[in-house]
């Protein structure tokens, strides 16, 4: 299995533990990653509001490069997944628009023909790799762990661009994976809501309310940790959780795991190799519980 890897900016910036964790588990699972050469930022929905043409051109460039590689794109970020998929939907819906953008790409000798596929690691594991093939790699039982899924907006909405009609199972993919790895998925209202990160520097109070609400809700339902396929959500839910807890005037202390870290833990990889030490919320209680459930 081989994919055109699109890591996204945050996995090498604000959440630098994500990139090596994703590479590590893919390596162990024999999923070959060929990084898209000189890929550019997807725009994260921000660039689109200022200049959709520029943003779509950059995404068409990423898509065209993956098309040349002849490989499906693998993303490891809900936001990248959604934003690139939305750009692709716009390009495919309007041949004139695609032709205009291809005009800009021509200077680099690129052309996007419209055949690229974009899939998040989460979907790849379920749809391409197969849970039956994943299970033999699960050497550490997560039984006893209660994990709260947190999707990130762009991997669940708008459904049109995300192929949800053809793949309704994507809407519960995170719970499916959590349960497959032997843990219990905690069901709560906040799992598909906004983490608040996009307005962190615009309306911090609202952003912190969102972090506080989701993490508190999961914690109060007995979650040992939260799992997210979105590093932007991780930045807010983990990095700003102490501030959110102060605003909510309560303690929360809920560790937030990146999706590849959870899979890595289930595969027996050590927490330090997966970069858990880089998290702001201490993961030691989770690791202790994990060690307990493994030895029991």
Partner 1 sequence: MDVTVKIKRYDPESNNADYVWQEYPIAIDENATVLDALIQIREDDDGTLSLRCSCRSAICGSCAMKINGQGGLACKTKASESMDKDGVIRVEPAGNMDTVKDLVADFDMFWNKIREIEPYLQPEGEVPDGEYVVSNESMLHLSAVTACILCGACVSDCTVLEVDKSFLGPAALAKAYRFTADPRDGNEDGVSRDRLKVLGQPSGMWDCTRCNMCVQVCPKGVAPMDRIMAMHDQAIEAGYGNNNGARHADAFIESVGHTGRLDELRLPVKTVGITNIPALLGFAPVGWRAMTHGKLPPLIHKSVEDVQIIRNLYRKLEQ
Binding flags for partner 1, 261-280, as an x/- string (CB under 8 A): ----------------xxxx
**Length reported for the chain:** 296
205 part of the interface to partner 1, by CB under 8 A: yes
Residues 210-249 that bind partner 1 (CB under 8 A): 210, 213, 239-240, 242-243
Provide the token pair at 29.
């699972």
159 counts as binding partner 1 under rule CB under 8 A: yes
Q: Compute how many other C-beta atoms are within 10 angstroms of the C-beta atom of residue 27.
A: 11
Cα dihedral 85, 89, 91, 93, rounded to 10, equals: 170
Task: Tell me the backbone φ, ψ of residue 74, rounded to 5 degrees.
Answer: -105, 125
Rg (CA), the chain: 19
Identify the H or E element spanning 119.
strand 118-120
CB of 205 to partner 1, least distance (A): 8
Site stretch for partner 1 (CB under 8 A), options 102-110, 118-126, 218-226, 255-263: 102-110
Query: Is residue 77 close enough to count as binding partner 1 by CB under 8 A?
Result: no
**By the rule CB under 8 A, 196 interacts with partner 1:** yes
Site residue total, partner 1 (CB under 8 A): 58
- Work out the number of other CB atoms within 10 angstroms of the CB of residue 296: 8
Among 1, 29, 34, 41, interactor with partner 1 by CB under 8 A: 41
- Residue 63 neighbours by CB under 8 Å, 6+ apart: 73, 84, 87, 88, 91, 112, 116, 118
CB of 243 to partner 1, least distance (A): 7
Q: Least distance from C-beta 57 to partner 1, angstroms?
A: 6
Nearest CA to 55 out of 104, 15, 123, 128 is that of 104
CA distance 25 to 290: 18
Query: Contact region for partner 1 (CB under 8 A) — 55-63, 117-125, 131-139, 254-262?
Result: 55-63
- What is the rounded distance in angstroms from the CA atom of residue 131 to the CA atom of residue 102? 38
Q: Give min distance, CB of 212 to partner 1, in A.
A: 9
Residues that bind partner 1 (CB under 8 A): 9-10, 13-17, 37-41, 43-51, 53-55, 57-58, 82, 104, 107-108, 153-154, 157-159, 189, 193-194, 196, 198-203, 205-206, 209-210, 213, 239-240, 242-243, 277-280
């Amino acid at each position: 299995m081989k994919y055109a890897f699109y890591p996204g900016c945050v996995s090498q910036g604000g959440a630098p533990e994500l990139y090596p964790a994703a590479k590590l588990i893919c390596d162990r699972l024999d999923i070959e990653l060929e990084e898209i050469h000189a890929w550019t930022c997807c725009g994260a929905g921000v660039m689109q509001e200022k200049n959709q043409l520029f943003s779509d051109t950059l995404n068409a460039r990423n898509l065209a490069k993956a098309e040349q590689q002849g490989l499906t794109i693998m993303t490891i970020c809900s936001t990248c997944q959604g934003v690139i998929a939305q750009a692709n939907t716009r390009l495919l819906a309007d041949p004139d628009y695609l032709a205009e953008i291809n005009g800009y790409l021509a200077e680099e000798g690129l052309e996007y023909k419209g055949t690229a596929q974009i899939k998040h690691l989460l979907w790849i594991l379920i749809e391409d790799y197969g849970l039956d093939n994943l299970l033999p790699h699960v050497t550490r039982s997560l039984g006893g762990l209660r994990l709260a899924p947190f999707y990130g907006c762009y991997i669940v909405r708008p459904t049109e661009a995300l192929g949800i009609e053809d793949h309704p199972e994507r809407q519960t993919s995170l719970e499916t994976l959590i349960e497959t790895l032997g843990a219990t998925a905690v069901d709560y209202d906040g799992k598909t809501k906004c983490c608040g990160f996009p307005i962190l520097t615009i309306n911090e109070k609202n952003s912190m309310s969102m972090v506080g609400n989701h993490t508190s809700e999961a914690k109060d339902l007995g979650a040992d940790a939260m799992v997210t396929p979105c590093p932007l959500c991780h930045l807010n839910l983990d990095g700003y959780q102490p501030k959110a807890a102060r605003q909510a005037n309560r303690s929360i202390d809920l560790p937030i795991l990146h999706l590849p870290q959870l899979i890595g833990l289930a595969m027996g990889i050590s927490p330090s190799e997966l970069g858990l030490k880089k998290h702001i919320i201490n993961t030691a209680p989770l690791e202790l519980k994990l060690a307990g459930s493994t030895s029991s």
